[in-house]
Amino acid sequence: MGRGRAFHLSEPQGNVRSQKKAVEEEMKQLEKNLDMLKFKCWYYEKAMEDGNEDEIHAMLPD
């Protein structure tokens, strides 16, 4: 009885692992999006403080 039950649990475990992997991949993408938004916030705040984008452009690679 215990053996059969463990066998049946392997399928849901696989589904949970698949869902976990999908969520982890989505979190990676969301982290990239968040990083870009943080950069944009910094960029516009800095430009507003300076009154232009000249100093920012000097910092950025070509």
Both tokens assigned to 49: 């403080």
Both tokens assigned to 6: 């463990």
Residue 51: per-residue pLDDT: 97
Residue 5: per-residue pLDDT: 57
Q: Which range of residues forms the domain containing residue 39?
A: 2-59
Q: Please name the helix (run of DSSP H) or strand (run of DSSP E) that holds residue 62, with its range, or none.
A: none
Amino acid at 50: D
Cα dihedral 52/57/59/62 (nearest 10): 180
Alpha-carbon distance of 37 to 21, in angstroms, equals: 24
Number of domains present in the structure of the chain: 1
For residue range 2-52, list pLDDT tens digits in order.
555 555 667 778 899 999 999 999 999 999 999 999 999 999 999 999 999
